[in-house]
Amino acid sequence: MSFDGKVVVVTGASRGIGREIALAFSRQGANVACVATTEAGAAGTVAAIEAESGKGKAYACDVSDSASVEQLFTAIQGDLGTPAVLVNNAGINRDTLLMRMKEEDWDRVLDVNLKGAFLCIRAVSRSMMKARYGRIVNVSSVIGQTGAAGQSNYAASKAGLFGLTMSVAKELGSRGITCNAVAPGFVETDMTESLPAEMREAVISTAPAGRLGLPGDIAPAVLFLASDGAGYITGQTITVDGGLTL
């Protein structure tokens, strides 16, 4: 797969899965717009890209805020050109049992994880439609497929991405734009560091792969869906979970 000269936007690019996705695109020749809540966070990923002689630029954006998102894509268009690929990876969790969950924790998780993807897709869709080309990949989660106790807000946001993905695929497909999703399982990131030991062992013993995933396990699926070779795949979800949900 080659992304030579293509502009790729990756949200949530400061660490974990997003950082690995940004690096993977850079290694295939893309010019990567690395987006995080702070420019300093995104700059760390850009530094890693440049250390490998790749091209990237750091941007700060609150993806849940429409004005911030519009400013982001205006800046990317001016700095780098029309994005060919958008990866909606930005996500947070605020886990607690439903009866204890604060309304603001429900709202914030839905705003970042689901509304953020909608706002970014809306912002980039016009330029992609004009170019008659685009690849959109939404990073969801197996929790959106199975649910999880103590994660009703997170599960709802990630399940919502599946519906968003299919709807966008139907709306934009005639303009040469595909929209797909990747659903990672339990991956070794900052978000899973707090997993109780018994839950970690349960995942490892249940998954046929016999281990938790790594960010590098997710990036290849994203790159495939963003490639020219996946041009006839749209509205689909690839689950990357070591067989956990079998």
Residue 181 phi, psi (nearest 5): -130, 155
User: Which position among 59, 133, 154, 232 bears the catalytic label?
Assistant: 154
Find tokens 């106790």 and name the residue: 149
Nearest CA among 185, 192, 194, 169 for reference residue 218: 185
Partners of residue 213 on adjacent β-strands: 187
Is residue 103 within 8 Å of 96, Cβ to Cβ? no
In this structure, the number of other CB atoms found within 10 A of the CB of residue 101 comes to 17
DSSP assignment, residue 112? I
Is residue 37 within 8 Å of 68, Cβ to Cβ? no
Residue 134 phi, psi (nearest 5): 180, 150
Task: Evaluate the CA torsion angle 126, 109, 31, 85 in order and state its sign.
Answer: negative
154 is annotated as an active-site residue: yes
In this structure, the number of other CB atoms found within 10 A of the CB of residue 9 comes to 28
In this structure, the number of other CB atoms found within 10 A of the CB of residue 126 comes to 11
Which residues carry out catalysis?
A: 154
